[in-house]
A and B are shown apart, each in its own frame.
Chain A
Amino acid sequence: MDWINAIIQGILLGGLYALFAAGLSLIFGVMRLVNIAHGDLIVLAAFLGLTITTALGVSPLIALLLVVPVMAAIGYVLQRGILNQTLGEDILPPLLVTFGLSVIIQNGLLEIYSADPQKMSAGALETASIALPGDLNIGVLPLMMFVVAVAVIAGLQWIFYHSSLGRAFRAVSDKQDIAQLMGLNKAHVFGLAMALSLAVVGIAGVFLGIRTSFDPSIGPGRLIFGFEAVIIGGLGNIWGTLIGGIILGVSQNIGAQINPGWQLLAGHIAFLFVLAVRPRGLFPRID
């Protein structure tokens, strides 16, 4: 029973990891940018949620209504103000600039919030659970987060393949020059992609802050989880991030079940295993 429980909890956790991964995958797909500060932005969103919940005395789920647009705005400004200047043939500038950004965000958060672990409380929802046959309990909150994660991934998939914004994303991703000939301002399209990515980061950050305690230093770890989910699922595949997230979450929980010290290690090993046998991930997009 413990094992089944571990697997179910792992699947639910995978939803959160998919949220970490989706934003990362999106901007890589549109502009080949790997944002090293992605994890720190998730933590920033969590702290933003914390500030809003304490200042306004609202539930973190209500705070989402503010966190998401604020993060999106940060994403747009960041992209147009700094990151667009780094894009080009050379992969080094975006990598190093986002690395610097990661250092700045971490230490900025430390300065403001100190290194103490924080947590957001979602009230009664947190203890509510659904009893399943066979002594299994599924927390309402983790389940809800998983459902939201699936909905977000579905929404991103829809935007990418069925909206005019997604068409612009794909066109710019295919051929930047020619896309400009269609009247698309590349800088603006990239800004929108980063805004969308950070909107998802906003949701991910608040969920993270409700689920576990967080402090300014945990960003890089979240980046790595997101990255592993992207690679496991297959590059360029939005649904793949969900599968990757679930595989990662389940591996971690199984590892923890064997030995508490192996939780993270088991996730990394699952990732390295996929990399060894299927270097392009389980479901790479064929194009």
Chain B
Amino acid sequence: MPDALLSTRELEAHYGDFQALFGISIDVFPEEVIAIIGANGAGKTTLMRSITGLLRNEPEMVVWKGQSVGGFRADQVAHLGIAMVPEGRQLFQSLSVKENLIIGGQMGRKGPWSLEKVYELFPILKERRNVPATALSGGQQQMVAIGRALMSNPDILLFDEISLGLAPIIIKSIYEALPKIIGQGMSAIIVEQDIAKAVSVSSRVYCLQEGRISLKGRSDELTREAISAAYFGV
């Protein structure tokens, strides 16, 4: 087995006195897509925030290509090549669609993605490039959020519930675009509440429950029963 690209080691996270994550250890290998599932409030977003440096960790709790990076600030983590499509899209409302994309690429990391490539993937964004990003429809905003993350040419991309609040048909088209996105030698962590979706796009799954990993395994080997037991804690 090759060395992991990204790992968390006994990761913990706190909001004040409240502990949201307990001893989370996950691995993502190069060019691998893993899924993280769990009910509302399980700690999925918190895990993403910890990895990306938005929540501070002990240095050794997050390891990137063999280096302890848990103590890095979020902008330093971004420079490593870790990008995120955050929950709820979180576009910059004062920036146009194009500016949102450009700012995603402002670190100047080299790679296959450019403004043109993103426009090719989502042609509608080119059409609407000068519109304030938050004036778009939900699905189009999600495209901007994905494009913005791609613009940094990351080595790994974290998707936090990209289907949240979108119409089924749009979810379908975004998931159809996913292979094109991740197919470029990138790794990905996909956070989903939709278990079927998560299992279908990933090679391995981790299930979170109340801040702990309640189940992990290969996506094609896990049974529905095992997953629902881990998911709902029944």
Our verdict on whether A and B bind, yes or no, reads yes
A interface residues, Cβ below 8 angstroms from B: 164, 167-168, 170-171, 173-175, 177-186, 287
Check B86–A174 contact: CB distance below 8 A.
no
Which residues of chain B come closer than 8 Å to A164, judged between CB atoms? 102, 106
Interface 9-residue window, one of B5-13, B77-85, B210-218, B222-230: B77-85
Bound CA span A186–B73, Å? 10
Chain B: interface secondary structure?
A: loop
Does residue B27 face the partner (Cβ distance < 8 Å to A)? no
Contact flags B87-125 to A (C-beta < 8 A → 1, else 0): 000101111000100111011000000000000000000
CB of A171 within 8 A of CB of B92, answer yes
**Nearest chain B CB to A177's CB is how many angstroms away?**
5
CB of B52 within 8 Å of the partner chain: yes
Q: Give chain B's interface residues, CB within 8 Å of chain A.
A: 52-54, 73-75, 78-79, 83-84, 86, 90, 92-95, 99, 102-104, 106-107, 148, 152
- 29 A-B residue contacts at CB 8 Å? A167-B99, A167-B102, A167-B103, A167-B106, A168-B103, A170-B92, A170-B94, A173-B94, A175-B92, A177-B54, A177-B74, A178-B86, A178-B90, A180-B54, A180-B74, A180-B78, A181-B84, A181-B86, A182-B78, A182-B103, A182-B104, A182-B106, A182-B107, A183-B78, A183-B79, A183-B106, A184-B75, A184-B106, A287-B93
In angstroms, how far is the closest chain A Cβ from the Cβ of B15?
14
Residues in B with CB closer than 8 Å to A178 are 86, 90, 92
Q: Is the CB of A287 within 8 A of B94?
A: yes
Complex Cα–Cα for A287 and B93 (A): 8
A237 shortest CB reach to chain B, Å: 13
Give bound CA distance, A185 to B53, whole Å: 12
Residue ID in chain B nearest A169 by CB atoms: B94
Beyond A171-B95, A182-B107, list 9 extra A-B contacts (CB 8 Å). A164-B102, A167-B103, A175-B90, A179-B92, A182-B104, A183-B152, A184-B75, A184-B103, A185-B75
With a CB–CB cut-off of 8 A, which chain A residues contact B93?
Answer: 174, 287
Contact of A174 among B53, B54, B78, B94 (CB under 8 A): B94
Q: Please report the C-alpha to C-alpha distance between residue A184 and residue B84 in the assembled complex, in whole angstroms.
A: 14
**Quick one: closest A residue to B108, CB to CB?**
A183
